[in-house]
Amino acid sequence: MLKFAKYLYHKTAVGKYMIDIILNVHRYYRINFIEEKKFVKQKFKKRFKKELDLENPKSLNEKMQWLKLYDRTPLHTICADKFKVRDYVTEKIGPQYLIDLVFQSYNANDVIPSNFPDFPFIIKANHDSSGGIIVKNKDDINWKSLPKHFKKLLRKNYYKSGKEWQYKNIEPCIIGEKLLINTNGELPMDYKIHCFHGKVEVIQVDIDRFTNHKRNFYDQSWNLLPFSWSLWKDGQPLWNTGRALEKPKNLDEMISVAEKLSEVFKYVRIDLYDFENKIYFGEVTFHHGSGMETIFPEEWNYKLGDLLNLKEV
């Protein structure tokens, strides 16, 4: 039966159309009606081919699922909101670490050229992980399409796709930030700093994202760590370890900033930019990869899991 369904899907237009309808109905039901705990367990089992132990989680991926379900505070929602987190950053480390805000609105119809500056910027939603639209030159953008694009984004509740509670109650809006770009048209290096109980343990750097995407992991002393943390395809990590990177000159400051921002959370990833010898805040992520990316070798899944004490207040 499964072979016949695959044949219909891949070989006939009508079959693909009908099966897509069935799949979309099933997905809608799962997202909107299945109880959270059951949803997370099903998704974990589908991804890792084993049962999720929420009673005695040991690996980092298991503990991230526990955090999704049981580690919830109003501050999580504030920090997941790319607009409201700015107040938290100002309070904890000061406004000098914020990228200049050039636009904010709850109305997608406000996304018009006259509301934006003439220098490069990025437009994005505050409540999801869509990445945003980079604008280096306003004349190169199809502005007529943008209100429709953002209306669709504003209707989306990012919580539903992975049950990451911090996104559930964010009031969706659109923000624009000055684009950090140098005279050569290059974007800054992005450092994703994984913090456990307010201490930096792993520093992630994604390399050559638009050409040959690789991903390196370092400790606080900038020693390369011997594991990958990635989605997999055909038995291989999509983002394996890449070329060696020079230790950032501002590494100590980045560590200090990340630890101040993370000190009240059990686990969090703090994203920072190093641009022209200055550190800028990027965003806060509470469940890296939704806890669904493979850590390999598996022993590192447990080593990192050991760093996270779920009983600690």
Tell me: the pLDDT tens digits for 22-55?
Answer: 444 444 445 555 899 999 999 999 999 999 999 9
Helices (H), the chain: 2-11, 13-33, 36-48, 60-70, 74-80, 85-92, 146-155, 159-162, 251-262, 298-306
pLDDT value for 26: 42
* pLDDT surpasses 70 at 57: yes
If one compares 146 and 242, the residue with the highest pLDDT of the two is 146
- The answer to whether the beta carbons of residues 272 and 283 sit under 8 Å apart is no
Query: What is the tens place of the pLDDT at every residue in 294-303?
Result: 999 999 999 9
pLDDT value for 186: 84
Which two three-digit tokens encode residue 173? 């809006």
pLDDT value for 131: 75
**What are the residues whose beta carbons fall under 8 Å from the beta carbon of 244, sequence distance 6 or more?**
224
* pTM, full prediction: 0.89
- What would the mean pLDDT of 281-303 be, rounded to a whole number? 97
Query: What is the tens place of the pLDDT at every residue in 104-140?
Result: 999 999 999 999 999 999 999 999 887 799 999 999 9
Which two three-digit tokens encode residue 261? 């921002």
pLDDT value for 271: 97
* pLDDT surpasses 60 at 9: no
| Nearest residue to 173 (alpha-carbon basis) of 264, 86, 295 | 86
Average pLDDT value for the chain: 90
Q: Which residues pair with 216 in a beta bridge?
A: 205
pLDDT value for 98: 98
Query: What is the tens place of the pLDDT at every residue in 140-155?
Result: 999 999 999 999 999 9
| Nearest residue to 163 (alpha-carbon basis) of 254, 245, 67 | 67
